[in-house]
Amino acid sequence: MPQQTDSALRTRLCRIADRDVQEKVRVAGRVLYYEAKSAMLTLIDGHQGLLVDTSLALDSQSHLWASERLSTVIVIGRIDKVQKALKLPPKPIPSPELDLEMWNSVLEEEEREHEDVSTSATT
């Protein structure tokens, strides 16, 4: 039987905030840059970015896909807060592998439904 992982909150990059520190999330985006020496990957979606430490996830062979600029990936991991802000490059040209607009619109709808349920529960 394949190893089962802990569940992770599906979210959009733009929704990650301080409240998510130490939370396990699943997020999709495009690989802007991968530095093999540090095993750090910059994941972007629009004007939002996330620095991903892949040192525990990638071996010497699997890092090859990570260096493909603008490849679309889904990552799962815990959010840590860095002490300094990251400067992100300009928005990349979209690629067809994963429709990030669809991903974001589905999660936006779920967020609205959750807010509606929360609002009706308090009234």
Domains of the chain, start order = 9-122 (2.40.50.140)
Residue 95 has pLDDT above 90, yes or no: no
What is the average per-residue pLDDT within 31-45?
84
Prediction pTM value: 0.60
Torsion angle (degrees, nearest 10) of CA 105, 43, 24, 11? -10
Q: Which helix (H) or strand (E) holds 29?
A: strand 24-35
The residue that leads in pLDDT, 6 or 67, is: 6
Residue 90 has pLDDT above 70, yes or no: no
The pLDDT of residue 122 is 67
Residue 102 Cα to chain centre, angstroms: 15
What is the average per-residue pLDDT within 33-52?
85
